[in-house]
Amino acid sequence: MKLPVIKHLTQFIEDNDSDYMVETIEVLENLTELESLKDEEIDVIAELISNMYGALEVHKSIKEGKDKKTALNEFMQRVMGSIDK
């Protein structure tokens, strides 16, 4: 996951609607079922999906009242904490 990408996607959600992100995730998840994709291509799609889910989580925290910077930092701390385990 990349914080700048999540930040950018979070701004997209704020400017538009989270439904766009959810629908895009659904399309990308469906695309991963294509048997002709190479592992590297699936990895790129998976990274995009992860960043989109991250942006949705950050957006949820913002809607619950946290400022964007705090929401982003707390999300990344959770991610890093889960990797360390």
pLDDT tens track for 13-70: 999 999 999 999 999 999 999 999 999 999 999 999 999 999 999 999 999 999 999 9
Specify the number of domains making up the chain: 1
Alpha carbon distance 43, 23 (integer Å):
19
Structure confidence at residue 78 (pLDDT): 86
Whole-model pTM: value is 0.89
Angle at 24 between CA 21 and CA 26, to 5 degrees: 110
Whether the CA torsion 76, 79, 84, 85 is positive or negative: it is positive
Alpha carbon distance 28, 51 (integer Å):
12
Domain range enclosing 75: 3-84
Structure confidence at residue 4 (pLDDT): 93
